[in-house]
Amino acid sequence: MSAFEIIRFAFRGLFINRLRTALTILGITIGVASVIILLAVGNGSSKAIQASLDRLGTNSLQVRSGGQGFGFRARASANTTKPLTILDTVALADKTQAPDIKQVAPIASTNGTCVVGSNTTTPSTFYGTWPAYYQR
């Protein structure tokens, strides 16, 4: 068989089974499109997460009071830990005691209810902090 006869035989099979040909083309198109879409969504979300982490900065540190570890040791140490106070924040912000710290901002959170006139709403959490929290 020559190459011309092979191609003629293949096209004849495609034209005889038009529905099968159309469904095969449709299946291949949907498969390729779905793979392209999944890769695009994965790359886009990866870039969004990376940008979010870059905004945090590599030189940022949060200090929290609380337990150490998990399980029994965390429960045992939770009874003996002291909470951080505003005096701790002031001491960390002092350039003579901590010269390498650029800025300090305490964060306090609580649950509460907002009342405006006769309307009330209960947001999940209120946060309070100093203006230095928003500086970069």
**Residues 81 and 66 sit within 8 Å (Cβ to Cβ):** yes
Please state, for a pLDDT cut of 90, what percent of the chain lies above it: 24
Q: What is the mean pLDDT of residues 119-125?
A: 79
Query: pLDDT tens for residues 38-52?
Result: 999 999 999 988 887
pLDDT band, very low/low/confident/very high, at 25 (cuts 50, 70, 90): very high
The DSSP code for 99 is T
- Distance between CA 26 and CA 127 in Å, rounded? 53
Q: What is the mean pLDDT of residues 105-121?
A: 83
Q: Where do the domains of the chain lie?
A: 3-56, 84-134
Q: How far apart are the first and last CA of the chain?
A: 75
Give the per-residue SS3 of 30-84. Answer: HHHHHHHHHHHHHHHHHHHHHHHHHHHCCCCCCCCCCCCCCCHHHHHHHCCCCCC
**Residue in the block written with tokens 């010269």:** 99
